[in-house]
Amino acid sequence: MKQNKKTTVDSRIISQPWYKDFTTFVELRDLRPRTRKAYLYWVGRLWRFYECKSIRRLGERRVLEFLVHLKADCELKDPTVNQALCALRALFRDHLGRPWKCWNDIKFHRVQLLPNIISREEMTTLLNSIREGRFRGLFTVMHHCGLRLSECTHLKPGHIDGKRQVVRVKGKGDKLREVPISEELLERLRRYWKAHRNPEWLFPGVGQGWTPKRCSLAKAMHRSDHPISNSSVQNALKAVVMSLGWEAKGGRRPITCHTLRHCYATYLLEESVSIRLVSQYLGHASLRPTLTYLHLTEVSESKARKVLGRLPGL
């Protein structure tokens, strides 16, 4: 697997005592693994920029000069520089106790794009175009439950509560939530699992070495000791999107696994499901990210047009 250069840590500083201390500090914080890697990467890049033996010697002015270098010389976009700022703030302010003024003064504009949504007709076409049963089942669950990719690939048979018709999901930060499922989806999942009966995973992976000549797909899935990989799912969706001629061109944004989650939230809000329930089903920590979907509901747009048509003066 290729390593992402953006989060690669400079091997020369791994033995540095201050770096080891900061690594321990970061690992003990409630951060996503990708965020931890990014923090260590940016701290390593600062160290390499000044070629200093110890980060502790750097002052506020030199840290600011490094951020200016990223923005002006490297021409990095504001969200990327903001990521570097967060990493350096975690090191100097939170870890080393440097309450510099710059932590409050520096602000980077973060562009927030609206979620990518496709129509219900397009969603039906997309799901019906998936021929392989395991991928069709996975994408159906992802859309009908509003799951993130990793949440869906790591589902286990025991996570499905048939009596209560809910799916128990482990989300970001290992936070647990329950998402309701329909009777139709429950029956489909039962039939799907009975086809492979893997004791550990609902969507087991078969690996790159699997071929129909050795054994059936169902047997390979039954024997598997690992879930299906995220990359396999992403590649399967890309192939379906390409077969439909829906490539990202002519203003169309790319359709990704997260698009299914965005559509789930939008469709529920269009059916007047409580925004608090939708936020709970999505695993959002607050209502703020869920409120974004209110801008995308066609029902809300239609109601707004009717109200506008009744305003005085027309």
pLDDT in tens, 108-141: 766 666 778 888 999 999 999 999 989 999 999 9
In the numeric block, the tokens 């506008």 are attached to 308
What pLDDT score does 216 carry? 86
167 alpha-carbon distance from chain centroid: 19
d(CA 76, CA 85): 12
pLDDT class of 4 with cuts at 50, 70, 90: very low
Lowest mean pLDDT among 87-91, 156-160, 175-179, 285-289: 285-289
What pLDDT score was predicted for residue 311?
A: 62
> Which H helix or E strand runs over 291?
helix 288-291
Distances (CA, A) of 194 to 165, 181, 190, 201: 18, 18, 6, 12
Q: Which helix (H) or strand (E) holds 179?
A: strand 176-180
- Tell me what pLDDT residue 196 has: 94
Of the pLDDT bands very low, low, confident and very high (cuts 50, 70, 90), residue 229 is: very high
Half-sphere CA count of 204, side-chain side, radius 13 A: 23
Q: Which domains does the chain have, with CATH numbers?
A: 5-105 (1.10.150.130), 120-303 (1.10.443.10)
Tokens 């990708």 correspond to 34
pTM: 0.68
Query: Lowest mean pLDDT: which of 20-29, 215-224, 271-280, 296-305?
Result: 296-305
